[in-house]
Amino acid sequence: MEFRTQLVVWRRNKRSYVAYLGLLVALSSFLLVFVPSWNDYIPYVFGIGVAIVIIGAVIARGDVRQYGLSEEELVVSTDGITIGAVHYPLRLVKNMDFNVEAFAGRYVNDRAMISGSHSDGMTNDLKFESGGAKVTCGFFLRDKAHVYELGAVFEEFYRGHIPFIERNKSKRTYLFQFLSGAELEAFKRKYGYA
């Protein structure tokens, strides 16, 4: 059993720089509060900044994100982890940490936005150490079935007592579920950890 997906990488959409410039102009308007003789210009500078943000977003065709999907893949199995062309045998991997937040299209309300939003599936990441080096990569989850594929690999890790952590942001999960008390004890017994 293996889990296969695309990597999420930092990318620069050069068209989005105009929007970020507008954001900088809008935020700089708040600095004018400290210059009493320029207080009358605050709304104008802020308005110009907002206008530049809107123009920048139109120029960038709405894509102002600084990350995207790579052609390279992440492959996770009981044999090891492969990132692009580099393979890390599992026996040499330590401190494996999967942060699994959401798949593409899933509704999330993380209180960043009042009404919540739908995830783009790109906020998941994997961290581990191998050969003294720390490795970090972001990965994409396309849908619920893709999450189940990852869950099947996690289940093999639990059955094989392969040490790893799965979490959702800062909260520890077990096969994507938040467990505590009796549920956690039953989970540990099922996989032979108790």
Residue 127: CATH number of its domain:
2.30.29
How far lies 65's CA from each of 11, 62, 74, 100, 124, in Å? Answer: 8, 9, 21, 20, 15
82 and 140 fall within a common domain = yes
- How does 124-139 read in b/e, with b if 16+ C-beta sit within 10 Å? bebebebeeeebebbb
75 and 55 fall within a common domain = no
90 and 185 fall within a common domain = yes
Two structure tokens written together for 5: 């997906």
Answer with the one of 59, 76, 98 that is the final residue of a domain.
59
28 and 89 fall within a common domain = no
Domain count along the chain: 2
Higher pLDDT, 10 or 183: 183
> Looking at residue 83, what is its pLDDT?
96
| Domain range enclosing 39 | 12-59
pLDDT in tens, 83-127: 999 999 999 999 999 999 988 878 776 655 555 577 778 889 999
90 and 144 fall within a common domain = yes
152 and 80 fall within a common domain = yes
Round to whole Å and give the CA distance between 151 and 76: 11
Contact 115, 79 (CB under 8 A): no
Contact 103, 146 (CB under 8 A): yes
pLDDT at residue 64 is higher than 70: no
55 and 97 fall within a common domain = no
Q: Which residues pair with 138 in a beta bridge?
A: 8, 125
78 and 151 fall within a common domain = yes
Q: What is the pTM of this model?
A: 0.72
Answer with the one of 20, 38, 59 that is the final residue of a domain.
59
95 and 144 fall within a common domain = yes
> Looking at residue 112, what is its pLDDT?
55
95 and 118 fall within a common domain = yes
132 and 175 fall within a common domain = yes
**What is the longest distance spanned by two Cα atoms in the chain?**
72
Percent of the chain with pLDDT over 90: 51
Residues 6+ positions from 169 with CB-CB distance below 8 Å: 99, 101
> Looking at residue 75, what is its pLDDT?
96
40 and 100 fall within a common domain = no
Give the Cβ contact number of residue 15 at 10 Å. Answer: 15
Two structure tokens written together for 184: 């956690």
